[in-house]
Amino acid sequence: MKKTSKESLHVSKLIGAWLRDYLPGQKNLRKDTIESYTYALSLLFHFLEIKNFLTFELLTFDAFSKDNIQEYLKWLRAERNCCPASCNIRLAAVRSFLHYAAEECLTMVQYYQSCSLIPRMKEESKPVPYLSKTAIQNLFAQPNQSTKIGRRDLSLMIMLYDSALRIDELLSLKIGDIRLDLDIVIMTIIGKGKKIRTVPLMNKTIVHITKYIHEFHGNNPNHQAYLFYSRNNGLMGKLSQDAVALRLKKYSSMAYLVCKENPSSVHCHQLRHSRATHLLQDGVPIASISRLLGHADLNTTMVYAIASIEMVTKALSSVEGVVLNRKPKKWKNSKTFAELCNLREIKR
């Protein structure tokens, strides 16, 4: 067995400190984000192992050379069929580690600087996938309200849509995070980067969620219990994203059979996209939508400002009406200067 080099141990210690201390501590990243970064580095080492026959004992700082990173990105595209967006996420993870490593070790500065010069892959600009208001109503009509699980699913979908929450934000919500005792009912949401924001609830949603809490949590609910909990793990175990995805897929398939305007498969984030798009169509300012969604940068919300077909049609129709109904200018039909000035014409 080959002896592990000091350089290999140094790199492994940097990776361990980055994942264990820096990302959750200083960067305050969520668990799922850290798992994504971990996976990106694991893929890099897997690539180096199969392409360069690199083992842990032979690991050096040169593993993070610009050439290796570029070849890694090409490998992701060619052999793992990763889209440009996924490749950019993997590149961002490697850069994050090298940025941390450069602060801790001067030897790593050159690798961080060279990696920073690698351009991101160009991503295709695609319209945000959303459901029409009719499709949303049709989707919400599918859960069987004569069953307890159907009533829970409808409450969950209404909350997800009305508040435009990310699925993890909703499933992490606890009873104590909802203030039903206030004049304006609000929820305290812990979003990306553990940033806290307050989100108001609409009256119809308040009615649904109040009935849901009474049925599923009783008259004296535990404020530390998850709003949507797992039947297997009890009140203190939150419902899994996979379970929600399966239920939503079931209802979207049912809705598709009723109305072809509904997509046959809907994912949770489409409800968030749909709510943001509908608010924009209803004339809500983009800044207010950005605050509701919890976006740190207004430019992130601007993706919803790409006009939908309905918005384009409405805009063109309004312009067409103005043009067609416009009265001809008086001077166009005037034959004399006197008529133009509303003066009596002198006969010759």
CA quadruple 109, 111, 113, 115: dihedral sign:
negative
**67 vs 11, 90, 111, 138, 204, CA distance in Å?**
18, 15, 10, 52, 57
Whether 269 is catalytic is yes
What ranges make up the beta strands (E) of the chain?
A: 178-179, 186-190, 196-200, 229-230, 234-238
Catalytic one among 30, 66, 99, 166? 166
Whether 272 is catalytic is yes
**27 vs 22, 24, 228, CA distance in Å?**
6, 6, 28
Catalytic one among 272, 273, 275, 278? 272
Of 136, 114, 175, nearest in space to 275 by CA: 136
Catalytic one among 100, 212, 226, 304? 304
What ranges make up the beta strands (E) of 118-210?
A: 178-179, 186-190, 196-200
Whether 192 is catalytic is yes
Distance from the Cα of residue 266 to its chain's centroid: 14
Q: CA 34 to CA 119: how far, in whole Å?
A: 23
Whether 214 is catalytic is no
Catalytic one among 77, 179, 217, 269? 269
Helices 84-104, 66-79: axis angle to 10 degrees equals 160
Catalytic one among 66, 77, 192, 197? 192
3-11 own/partner pairs: CB under 8 Å, 24+ apart: 3/57, 4/56, 4/57, 5/57, 5/58, 5/59, 5/60, 7/59, 7/60, 7/61, 8/56, 8/57, 8/58, 8/59, 8/60, 10/105, 11/59, 11/60, 11/61, 11/63
Can you tell me whether residue 199 is helix, strand or coil?
A: strand
Whether 99 is catalytic is no
Whether 10 is catalytic is no
**Catalytic site residues?**
166, 192, 269, 272, 295, 304
